[in-house]
Amino acid sequence: MSIQNVLLTAAFAVVVSSAAAHAEDKGNAAVPRQELEAKIVYCKTCHGLSGQGFRGAFPMPRLAGQQTEYLENQLQAFIERRRTNPVMFNVAHVLSPSMLTALAAHFKDLNPKPLGGAPKELVAAGKKIYDDGVPSAEVPPCATCHGPEAKGADAFPRLAAQLDDYVAKKLLNWSKERGQDPAKPDNSAIMQPIAHNLTEAQVKAVAAYLSYLE
């Protein structure tokens, strides 16, 4: 079986499992509007206006337009310490399941213009890797899971318009930040060999391409 088929099989299993868990939470009570607004204002501190991301001392990811299931999964990963980020540990652990759902729904509906700023000379190479993969390194096309327009689906994140420096930093440090609890594997396991097999130059090219997509 090819690595692409292995990845797709694993991806399907993750999505089914995640969808089942998501369905169990549908009975949660709605979050009062005032509480939700307060959290949204707090999120703006790091993630920028309309969740468009922010470039400061550290790149803060774009949340706007993100897939709701993916965003809920990642917040839960911070709560369970499966994903490493000292700031988000403290932010996420106080969020109720209903608040996770409400925040994810809010950001999904936002779609500001990309911040851009990545080196444009890298875009063509990044598009080729995104569309075709790197067969010699057993890297499948990114579009296989993230879609031809990089909008993502369900448990697979939207990458379109994500800050290039954020994408590059995450991919280059994947094993140090994701999948930190092997007893609770998630879709970060799918990306582990892909992130490992991409060179730094390839990572930066893909990140540049994604940053200009809308």
Q: pLDDT higher for 122 or 21?
A: 122
Q: Which of 124, 185, 154 is nearest to 19 (CA)?
A: 154
Element (H, E) at 60: strand 59-60
Alpha carbon distance 199, 133 (integer Å): 12
Residue 15 has pLDDT above 50, yes or no: no
Banded pLDDT at 184 (limits 50, 70, 90): confident
Which of 195, 169, 187, 180 lies closest to 89 in space, CA to CA? 180
CA–CA dist 188, 174 (Å, integer)? 8
- CA distances to 26, 94, 112, 209 from 4, in Å: 33, 38, 33, 22
The pTM for the full model equals 0.85
Burial (0-12, 13-18, 19+ Cβ within 10 Å), 193:
middle
Cβ-based neighbours of 63, under 8 Å, separated by 6 or more: 43, 47, 51, 53, 71, 107, 110
Q: What is the mean pLDDT of the chain?
A: 89
- Residue 17 and residue 184: Cα distance in Å, rounded? 12
Q: What is the mean pLDDT of residues 19-26?
A: 42
pLDDT in tens, 36-61: 999 999 999 999 999 999 998 899 99
Position 20 scores a pLDDT of 40
Q: Give the number of other Cβ atoms within 10 Å of residue 6's Cβ.
A: 14
- Inform me whether the pLDDT recorded for 86 exceeds 70: yes
Is domain 3-211 given the CATH code 1.10.760.10 in the classification?
Answer: yes
pLDDT digits (tens, 9 = 90+) for 143-183: 999 999 999 999 999 999 999 999 999 999 999 999 998 88
Closest CA to 192 of 213, 176, 169: 176
Q: Domain extents for the chain?
A: 3-211
Rounded Cα–Cα distance for residues 209 and 2 (Å)? 26
